[in-house]
Amino acid sequence: MRAKSRDLAIKLRKQGYTYSEILKKVPIAKSTLSSWLSSIGLTTKQTQRLTEKKLAGAKRGGLARRNQRLLIIQQTKERARSEIWKITEKDLSLIGVMLYWAEGSKYKDYRPSEGVTFSNSDPNMIRIFLKWLINILKIPKEGIRTEIYLHESHKSVADEVRQYWSRITGFPIGKFDRIYFKRNKIRTRRRNKGQNYHGLLRIRVLKSINLNREIAGWIEGVCIQCGVV
Protein backbone atom coordinates (compact mmCIF):
# COMPACT_ATOMS: atom_id res chain seq x y z
CA MET A 1 0.00 0.00 0.00
CA ARG A 2 2.82 2.37 0.94
CA ALA A 3 4.66 1.51 -2.29
CA LYS A 4 1.53 2.31 -4.32
CA SER A 5 1.22 5.64 -2.54
CA ARG A 6 4.88 6.40 -3.26
CA ASP A 7 4.50 5.49 -6.92
CA LEU A 8 1.39 7.68 -7.23
CA ALA A 9 3.14 10.59 -5.57
CA ILE A 10 6.13 10.32 -7.90
CA LYS A 11 3.83 10.02 -10.94
CA LEU A 12 1.90 13.13 -9.94
CA ARG A 13 5.09 15.06 -9.28
CA LYS A 14 6.43 14.21 -12.72
CA GLN A 15 3.20 15.58 -14.14
CA GLY A 16 3.97 18.88 -12.48
CA TYR A 17 1.67 18.65 -9.45
CA THR A 18 2.54 20.73 -6.39
CA TYR A 19 3.11 19.22 -2.97
CA SER A 20 -0.26 20.54 -1.81
CA GLU A 21 -2.05 18.95 -4.76
CA ILE A 22 -0.29 15.62 -4.21
CA LEU A 23 -1.11 15.56 -0.50
CA LYS A 24 -4.79 15.87 -1.34
CA LYS A 25 -4.56 12.62 -3.33
CA VAL A 26 -1.93 10.86 -1.21
CA PRO A 27 -2.73 11.33 2.50
CA ILE A 28 0.75 11.14 4.08
CA ALA A 29 2.97 13.41 6.13
CA LYS A 30 4.57 16.25 4.18
CA SER A 31 8.00 15.24 5.48
CA THR A 32 7.49 11.75 4.04
CA LEU A 33 6.42 13.16 0.70
CA SER A 34 9.47 15.42 0.67
CA SER A 35 11.80 12.45 1.19
CA TRP A 36 10.07 10.50 -1.62
CA LEU A 37 10.35 13.35 -4.10
CA SER A 38 13.77 14.74 -3.17
CA SER A 39 15.47 13.02 -6.09
CA ILE A 40 12.73 13.60 -8.65
CA GLY A 41 13.85 15.90 -11.44
CA LEU A 42 11.37 18.03 -13.37
CA THR A 43 11.25 19.01 -17.00
CA THR A 44 11.12 22.64 -18.06
CA LYS A 45 7.40 22.30 -18.78
CA GLN A 46 6.74 20.80 -15.35
CA THR A 47 8.79 23.49 -13.64
CA GLN A 48 6.87 26.14 -15.60
CA ARG A 49 3.56 24.64 -14.45
CA LEU A 50 4.69 24.72 -10.82
CA THR A 51 5.83 28.32 -11.18
CA GLU A 52 2.50 29.31 -12.70
CA LYS A 53 0.66 27.57 -9.87
CA LYS A 54 2.73 29.40 -7.28
CA LEU A 55 2.14 32.75 -8.99
CA ALA A 56 -1.59 32.06 -9.25
CA GLY A 57 -1.68 31.13 -5.58
CA ALA A 58 0.21 34.27 -4.63
CA LYS A 59 -2.19 36.34 -6.74
CA ARG A 60 -5.21 34.76 -5.05
CA GLY A 61 -3.63 35.37 -1.67
CA GLY A 62 -2.88 38.98 -2.55
CA LEU A 63 -6.43 39.52 -3.79
CA ALA A 64 -7.86 37.98 -0.62
CA ARG A 65 -5.67 40.24 1.54
CA ARG A 66 -6.66 43.27 -0.51
CA ASN A 67 -10.37 42.46 -0.14
CA GLN A 68 -9.90 41.95 3.58
CA ARG A 69 -8.09 45.28 3.84
CA LEU A 70 -10.85 47.07 1.92
CA LEU A 71 -13.47 45.51 4.20
CA ILE A 72 -11.59 46.70 7.29
CA ILE A 73 -11.28 50.20 5.80
CA GLN A 74 -15.00 50.30 5.02
CA GLN A 75 -15.96 49.10 8.50
CA THR A 76 -13.60 51.57 10.15
CA LYS A 77 -14.98 54.49 8.15
CA GLU A 78 -18.59 53.48 8.84
CA ARG A 79 -17.91 53.24 12.57
CA ALA A 80 -16.10 56.57 12.61
CA ARG A 81 -18.84 58.22 10.54
CA SER A 82 -21.47 57.13 13.06
CA GLU A 83 -19.50 58.83 15.86
CA ILE A 84 -20.07 62.30 14.37
CA TRP A 85 -23.04 64.06 15.88
CA LYS A 86 -25.43 66.37 14.06
CA ILE A 87 -23.54 69.53 13.17
CA THR A 88 -25.11 72.66 14.64
CA GLU A 89 -24.53 76.25 13.53
CA LYS A 90 -22.20 76.67 16.51
CA ASP A 91 -20.20 73.65 15.35
CA LEU A 92 -20.08 74.98 11.81
CA SER A 93 -18.85 78.33 13.11
CA LEU A 94 -15.79 76.68 14.64
CA ILE A 95 -15.29 74.34 11.68
CA GLY A 96 -15.09 77.33 9.35
CA VAL A 97 -12.55 79.08 11.57
CA MET A 98 -10.40 75.93 11.68
CA LEU A 99 -10.61 75.49 7.91
CA TYR A 100 -9.53 79.06 7.36
CA TRP A 101 -6.72 78.72 9.87
CA ALA A 102 -5.45 75.72 7.88
CA GLU A 103 -5.99 76.88 4.30
CA GLY A 104 -6.79 80.59 4.29
CA SER A 105 -4.63 83.69 3.86
CA LYS A 106 -4.13 84.89 7.41
CA TYR A 107 -3.97 88.43 8.70
CA LYS A 108 -0.39 89.47 9.49
CA ASP A 109 0.91 92.60 11.17
CA TYR A 110 3.19 93.14 8.18
CA ARG A 111 0.27 92.50 5.82
CA PRO A 112 -2.66 94.32 7.46
CA SER A 113 -4.72 94.78 4.29
CA GLU A 114 -5.10 91.09 3.39
CA GLY A 115 -8.65 90.09 2.50
CA VAL A 116 -10.28 86.70 3.01
CA THR A 117 -8.83 84.20 0.53
CA PHE A 118 -9.22 80.42 0.73
CA SER A 119 -7.67 77.89 -1.65
CA ASN A 120 -8.16 74.14 -1.96
CA SER A 121 -8.79 71.32 -4.43
CA ASP A 122 -10.96 69.17 -2.15
CA PRO A 123 -14.59 69.60 -3.32
CA ASN A 124 -16.14 68.84 0.07
CA MET A 125 -13.83 71.27 1.85
CA ILE A 126 -14.82 73.93 -0.67
CA ARG A 127 -18.52 73.18 -0.04
CA ILE A 128 -18.15 73.43 3.73
CA PHE A 129 -16.16 76.65 3.51
CA LEU A 130 -18.78 78.24 1.25
CA LYS A 131 -21.54 77.07 3.62
CA TRP A 132 -19.66 78.78 6.46
CA LEU A 133 -19.33 82.00 4.47
CA ILE A 134 -22.94 82.09 3.30
CA ASN A 135 -24.88 80.54 6.21
CA ILE A 136 -22.80 81.62 9.19
CA LEU A 137 -21.06 84.83 8.12
CA LYS A 138 -23.98 85.87 5.87
CA ILE A 139 -21.72 86.76 2.95
CA PRO A 140 -23.86 87.30 -0.17
CA LYS A 141 -22.93 85.18 -3.18
CA GLU A 142 -22.30 88.29 -5.22
CA GLY A 143 -19.60 89.20 -2.69
CA ILE A 144 -17.68 86.02 -3.47
CA ARG A 145 -15.21 85.74 -6.36
CA THR A 146 -13.72 82.48 -7.61
CA GLU A 147 -10.49 81.76 -9.47
CA ILE A 148 -9.30 78.45 -10.91
CA TYR A 149 -5.63 77.49 -10.97
CA LEU A 150 -4.88 74.77 -13.50
CA HIS A 151 -1.69 73.20 -14.80
CA GLU A 152 -1.03 74.31 -18.35
CA SER A 153 -1.00 70.68 -19.56
CA HIS A 154 -4.76 70.64 -18.85
CA LYS A 155 -5.71 73.67 -20.95
CA SER A 156 -7.75 71.42 -23.24
CA VAL A 157 -10.14 70.52 -20.39
CA ALA A 158 -10.53 74.04 -19.03
CA ASP A 159 -14.24 74.16 -19.94
CA GLU A 160 -14.90 70.82 -18.22
CA VAL A 161 -13.07 72.09 -15.13
CA ARG A 162 -15.21 75.22 -15.06
CA GLN A 163 -18.35 73.07 -15.27
CA TYR A 164 -17.02 70.83 -12.50
CA TRP A 165 -16.51 73.68 -10.04
CA SER A 166 -19.86 75.16 -11.01
CA ARG A 167 -21.52 71.85 -10.00
CA ILE A 168 -19.52 71.65 -6.77
CA THR A 169 -20.28 75.19 -5.61
CA GLY A 170 -23.73 75.69 -7.10
CA PHE A 171 -22.51 78.95 -8.60
CA PRO A 172 -23.32 79.82 -12.23
CA ILE A 173 -20.56 78.97 -14.68
CA GLY A 174 -20.06 82.66 -15.37
CA LYS A 175 -18.47 82.90 -11.92
CA PHE A 176 -15.52 80.88 -13.21
CA ASP A 177 -14.22 83.11 -15.98
CA ARG A 178 -10.86 83.55 -14.25
CA ILE A 179 -8.50 80.64 -14.96
CA TYR A 180 -4.78 80.89 -14.28
CA PHE A 181 -2.49 78.31 -15.83
CA LYS A 182 0.52 77.08 -13.89
CA ARG A 183 3.68 75.94 -15.61
CA ASN A 184 4.21 72.19 -15.27
CA LYS A 185 7.21 70.79 -13.49
CA ILE A 186 9.11 68.12 -15.38
CA ARG A 187 9.01 65.93 -12.29
CA THR A 188 6.09 66.00 -9.91
CA ARG A 189 4.83 63.89 -7.04
CA ARG A 190 1.21 64.79 -7.67
CA ARG A 191 -1.07 61.75 -7.83
CA ASN A 192 -4.16 63.60 -9.11
CA LYS A 193 -2.98 63.95 -12.70
CA GLY A 194 -5.72 62.04 -14.52
CA GLN A 195 -9.48 62.41 -14.79
CA ASN A 196 -9.72 63.28 -11.09
CA TYR A 197 -7.63 66.41 -11.54
CA HIS A 198 -9.72 69.59 -11.52
CA GLY A 199 -7.12 72.10 -10.47
CA LEU A 200 -7.36 74.32 -7.41
CA LEU A 201 -10.19 76.70 -6.59
CA ARG A 202 -9.42 79.99 -4.89
CA ILE A 203 -12.27 81.78 -3.15
CA ARG A 204 -11.99 85.50 -2.48
CA VAL A 205 -14.42 87.53 -0.40
CA LEU A 206 -14.70 91.10 -1.65
CA LYS A 207 -14.17 93.98 0.79
CA SER A 208 -13.14 91.56 3.53
CA ILE A 209 -10.05 93.12 5.13
CA ASN A 210 -11.84 93.69 8.43
CA LEU A 211 -13.40 90.21 8.28
CA ASN A 212 -9.94 88.69 7.98
CA ARG A 213 -8.94 90.56 11.12
CA GLU A 214 -11.99 89.15 12.89
CA ILE A 215 -11.07 85.63 11.80
CA ALA A 216 -7.59 86.19 13.23
CA GLY A 217 -9.23 87.12 16.53
CA TRP A 218 -11.43 83.99 16.44
CA ILE A 219 -8.35 81.86 15.86
CA GLU A 220 -6.63 83.48 18.84
CA GLY A 221 -9.78 82.87 20.90
CA VAL A 222 -9.71 79.16 20.01
CA CYS A 223 -6.06 78.97 21.08
CA ILE A 224 -6.85 80.67 24.39
CA GLN A 225 -9.84 78.42 25.11
CA CYS A 226 -7.73 75.34 24.30
CA GLY A 227 -5.08 76.54 26.71
CA VAL A 228 -2.24 76.56 24.20
CA VAL A 229 -1.38 80.25 24.67
pLDDT tens per residue, range 112-168? 889 999 999 999 999 999 999 999 999 999 999 999 999 998 999 999 999 999 999
Range of the domain at 182: 89-225
Residue finishing a domain among 35, 53, 79: 79
CA-CA-CA-CA dihedral for 72, 78, 82, 88, to nearest 10: 130
Residue 32 lies in a domain: yes
Phi then psi for residue 99, to 5 deg, are -60, -45
Mean pLDDT in residue range 172-190: 79
Residue 157 CA to residue 72 CA, distance in Å, equals 37
Same domain, 116 and 183: yes
Classify residue 84: in a domain, yes or no. Answer: no
**What is the DSSP code (8-state) at residue 39?**
T
pLDDT at residue 43, rounded to an integer: 62
Kindly state whether residues 35 and 105 are assigned to the same domain: no
DSSP 143: G
Of 46, 79, 112, the position where a domain reaches its end is 79
Boundary (domain end) residue, out of 79, 100, 134 = 79
Do 95 and 170 lie in one domain? The reply is yes
- The answer to whether the beta carbons of residues 161 and 154 sit under 8 Å apart is yes
What's the pTM?
0.72
Looking at the fold, whether 26 and 133 belong to one and the same domain comes out as no
Whether 193 is covered by a domain: the verdict is yes
Domain shared by 150 and 111, yes or no: yes
Number of structural domains, the chain? 2
Both 93 and 206 in one domain: the answer is: yes
190 pLDDT above the threshold of 60? no
Q: Are residues 216 and 107 in the same domain?
A: yes
Residues in the chain: 229
Rg (CA), the chain: 31
Residues 67, 144, single domain; the answer is no
**Residues 205 and 136 both lie in one domain:** yes
Is 74 found in the same domain as 170?
no
Tell me, what's the pLDDT at 191? 54
Specify whether the CB–CB gap between 196 and 207 falls below 8 A: no
Q: Could you tell me what percent of the chain has a pLDDT over 70?
A: 92
Query: Is residue 172 domain-shared with residue 102, that is, in the same domain?
Result: yes
- Position 196 in a domain: yes
Tell whether 174 is covered by a domain.
Answer: yes
Residues 36 and 144 occupy one common structural domain: no
